[in-house]
Amino acid sequence: MDFKEKVLQIIAEVCEDDVVKEEHELDIFDAGLIDSFATVELLVQFEEQLDINVPITEFDRDTWNTPNAIVDRLNELK
């Protein structure tokens, strides 16, 4: 599994919805798929599964809003 697939898998698990694997430009906050609680879960999973540490304050809803954007941000932090 490549990096992008791995990230999408984590997002899908946290959102409890596979739609994020198909629609990479979907705004997961606007779509109501994720809230602040699930956001934290996402960050914990990134740390545990990908070994990438994303501080809570780094996770800005305007720039981490779609599956594609999240993959890009994680690539920057890798």
Return residues touching other proteins (CB under 8 A). Answer: 16, 35-37, 39-41, 43-44, 47, 55-58
Alpha-carbon torsion angle 69, 74, 77, 78, nearest 10: -140
Query: Rounded to whole angstroms, how far apart are CA atoms 75 and 52?
Result: 9
Rounded to 5°, angle at Cα 72 from 69 and 77: 125
- Residue 2 C-beta: closest distance to other proteins, Å: 27
Residue whose CB is less far from other proteins, 2 or 76: 76
Q: Which is nearer to other proteins, 26 or 43 (CB)?
A: 43
CB of 30 vs other proteins, minimal distance in Å: 11
**Residue 47: CB minimum distance to other proteins, A:** 8
23's tokens: 């629609």
